[in-house]
Structure 1
């Protein structure tokens, strides 16, 4: 009897109709994976791992079919899509999760806020390995390049220990024009700064200021600018094995 192909949940934070997920899913299906696509109904960029309000209430869903793949949109976040799939809401539980292709890069420590990356980390909570893939452009031309990278990364991670997570950034250029692939450290926030201003209505508002700064060599920011695909293994929340804080608090409480 032939072995069962891994079931792959594909999600994103740009929405189930976004061009990135529409370009990605048929490529992964063509590789022979059992593809399940579940993603937010609308753009949920920047929501991180939010999944509040999903327990005890019906979740509205819609679907359509494109290139033989069914795309399911849910009234929720990427982390919710992963959690629902893990709970069996859409049939057999996925073996792997692929999040993307995100429109725009996801670099540095701020990936903590990315719905794309958070979907992958949510999968790892239950021991499912995942890949988050982002394309370095707000208006990409080369979705097939990122889709090829995603497919190859998925094939690699399938043989790794459960709960392995990669965040990958891909330059927006043809496959044969990539500089290569490099492991990348997470950069510190450099490109932008959030500033509080007052809106014309008199209400507070946050705006983004673009910064001019030199990227640190070896980071995802620097390597991506040089044309490399950047690969960064990441983990979710982990405790620090240090009891200094607990000991100090115990002493304070007994004084």
Structure 2
């Protein structure tokens, strides 16, 4: 049995986290939930303005599980939990289930993914779980796959982070599980436009056909659960280019 922190970026009352926590508890794990009080989608790894001040928390009980909401981001929730603010630090972190997929290079904006990366940066392995679709219904499929992912990541080195995307399908209709590359940023669907008031505005373009083979976008469309190992901030390896860059920077006064 492991101590599992469950968090998300949709808020501590969101249907995804309320589906995930009981499913993981039923596996016999010691589950505790710490997540944002409200929707924090797209905040990345922000932890702005939290030092040296009390952080509002709200606790709700449901099905024998305590759901703790904190006034802050998913990265803050993970940081507090790993520092021992809510009892012993977690052995592993699950972030989700996020409503809507998290695919492609721009996932570094995702609060769901950032929670797993924040955990990894503090020496605790984490999995970000997202389900395809704006209004998904097969939460139990994603919760079951999250339970499977716990067994995968427990056998990996400490600080491993995975992004898991699950089709919104009954579990017996899944095509399988596949390692996936991240869809290139060139397929980003965000478009800069101008509002009638003349102010800038971002809109989301429709999905384009023919995503790259083997990418999370292509495999998810084909009904596969996609698994993408992630690496957070790191120093470049000491190859010739990195050494040359370091020498140039060290020459500045």
CA shift, 1:189, in A, is 3.2
Alignment of 1:1-255 (within 5 A): 5-189=1-185, 192-241=188-237, 242-250=242-250, 253=252
Q: Deviations over 1:67-93 (max 9, x none)?
A: 111111111000000000011111111
CA shift, 1:63, in A, is 1.2
CA shift, 1:250, in A, is 5.0
Give yes or no for contact 1:25–1:35 (8 Å, CA) kept in 2: yes
Q: Using the TM superposition, name which of 82-91 and 181-190 deviates more.
A: 181-190
CA spacing shift, 1:202–1:170, aligned 2, 3 Å:
same
Q: Take 2:189 and 2:181, find their aligned partners in 1: how far apart are those partners?
A: 20
Q: Take 1:193 and 1:106, find their aligned partners in 2: how far apart are those partners?
A: 13
Q: Take 2:40 and 2:202, find their aligned partners in 1: how far apart are those partners?
A: 18
* Equivalent pairs, count: 249
Q: Take 2:230 and 2:154, find their aligned partners in 1: how far apart are those partners?
A: 16
CA spacing shift, 1:13–1:212, aligned 2, 3 Å:
same
Give yes or no for contact 1:190–1:213 (8 Å, CA) kept in 2: no
Q: Take 2:60 and 2:167, find their aligned partners in 1: how far apart are those partners?
A: 30
Let me know the Cα RMSD of the aligned residues. 1.5
CA shift, 1:243, in A, is 1.4
TM-score, normalised relative to structure 2: 0.94
CA shift, 1:150, in A, is 0.1
CA spacing shift, 1:174–1:235, aligned 2, 3 Å:
same
Q: Deviations over 1:16-53 (max 9, x none)?
A: 01000000000101111110101001110000000111
Unaligned runs of 5+ in 2: none
Unaligned runs of 5+ in 1: none
TM-score, normalised relative to structure 1: 0.93
CA shift, 1:140, in A, is 0.5
Q: Take 1:72 and 1:250, find their aligned partners in 2: how far apart are those partners?
A: 47
CA shift, 1:200, in A, is 3.6
Q: Take 2:193 and 2:230, find their aligned partners in 1: how far apart are those partners?
A: 34
Q: Take 1:27 and 1:147, find their aligned partners in 2: how far apart are those partners?
A: 6
